[in-house]
Amino acid sequence: MDNVAARAALDRLIAERHERYEALSRLIGRNPAYIQQYIKRGTPRKLDEADRRVLARYFGVEERLLGGPEETPVVSLSRKRATPAVVVVPRLALGASAGAGSLDDDERASGAFAFDAAWLRTMGVKGEGLSIIRVDGESMAPTLNDGDDIMVDRADAAPRLRDGIYVLRLDDMLMVKRVAMGPKRGRFSVLSDNSHYPDWTDIDPALVDIVGRVVWTGRRVG
Q: Which of 116, 109, 148, 147 is nearest to 131 (CA)?
A: 109
Number of structural domains in the chain: 2
Band (pLDDT 50/70/90 cuts) for residue 106 is very low
User: At residue 96, does pLDDT exceed 70?
Assistant: no
- One domain, residues 101 and 48: no
Query: How far apart are the C-alpha atoms of 179 and 156, rounded to whole Å?
Result: 13
Summarize the confidence of residues 91-100 as an average pLDDT.
63
Query: How far apart are the C-alpha atoms of 190 and 10, rounded to whole Å?
Result: 44
- Give the sign of the dihedral formed by CA 36, CA 38, CA 39, CA 41: positive
- One domain, residues 186 and 94: yes
Summarize the confidence of residues 92-112 as an average pLDDT.
60
Question: Domain range spanning residue 41?
Answer: 3-66
Summarize the confidence of residues 15-44 as an average pLDDT.
88
* Dihedral over alpha carbons 47, 48, 54, 57 (to 10 degrees): 60
Side chain identity at residue 155, one-letter code: A
Query: How far apart are the C-alpha atoms of 124 and 117, rounded to whole Å?
Result: 11
Residue 72 lies in a domain: no
Say what the pTM is: 0.64
Residue 76 lies in a domain: no
Residue ending a domain, among 38, 66, 94, is 66
- One domain, residues 46 and 139: no
- One domain, residues 61 and 133: no
- One domain, residues 105 and 205: yes
Summarize the confidence of residues 81-94 as an average pLDDT.
72
Band (pLDDT 50/70/90 cuts) for residue 183 is confident
Q: Which of 8-22, 79-93, 109-123 is predicted most confidently?
A: 8-22
- One domain, residues 166 and 96: yes
Tally of residues, the chain: 222
**Between 130 and 104, residue with greater pLDDT:** 130
- β-pair type (173-181, 188-191): antiparallel
Query: How far apart are the C-alpha atoms of 44 and 30, rounded to whole Å?
Result: 12
Residue 61 sits in a domain whose CATH number is 1.10.260
Query: How far apart are the C-alpha atoms of 73 and 164, rounded to whole Å?
Result: 46
Residue 101 sits in a domain whose CATH number is 2.10.109.10
Residue 106 lies in a domain: yes
- One domain, residues 92 and 27: no
Query: How far apart are the C-alpha atoms of 153 and 38, rounded to whole Å?
Result: 30
